[in-house]
């Protein structure tokens, strides 16, 4: 089985500001997302989606599965992304 990647942003990157900084780095890219599957249970959501990112002449497509937990106000308290190298395609 190939190695997989997991990103648990709150614990690995240092909280809300670090997560915001991670996403600010993507602001210059052209990004298109498509929700493929969604499951919701109480304050948790798991979803499979496609992200197509265009930067210059390169296109990167990835289909991760994210799992999020929400507080009573609907704010994200944790986020994990699961993917493996086979989920990422690079092209022009």
pLDDT of the residue at 92: 66
Of 83, 80, 4, the residue nearest 44 (C-alpha): 80
Q: Are 73 and 61 in contact (CB under 8 A)?
A: no
pLDDT at 15: 67
Domain residue ranges of the chain, discontinuous segments joined by +: 5-91
- pLDDT one digit per residue (tens) for the chain, 92 residues: 444 444 444 444 456 777 777 778 778 789 999 999 999 999 999 999 999 999 888 899 999 999 999 999 998 888 899 998 888 899 86
Query: How much is the pLDDT for 6?
Result: 46
- The CATH architecture annotation of domain 5-91 reads Roll (3.10)
User: What pLDDT, on the 0 to 100 scale, is given for residue 20?
Assistant: 77
d(CA 92, CA 79): 30
């Amino acid at each position: 089985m190939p190695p997989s990647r997991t990103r648990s942003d709150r614990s690995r990157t240092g909280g809300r500001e670090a997560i915001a900084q991670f996403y600010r780095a993507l602001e210059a890219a052209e990004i298109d997302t498509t929700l493929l599957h969604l499951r919701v249970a109480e304050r948790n959501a798991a979803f499979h989606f496609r992200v197509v990112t265009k930067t210059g002449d390169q296109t990167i497509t990835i289909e991760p599965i994210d799992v999020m937990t929400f507080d009573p106000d609907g704010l994200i308290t944790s986020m994990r992304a699961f993917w493996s190298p086979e989920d990422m395609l690079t092209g022009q």
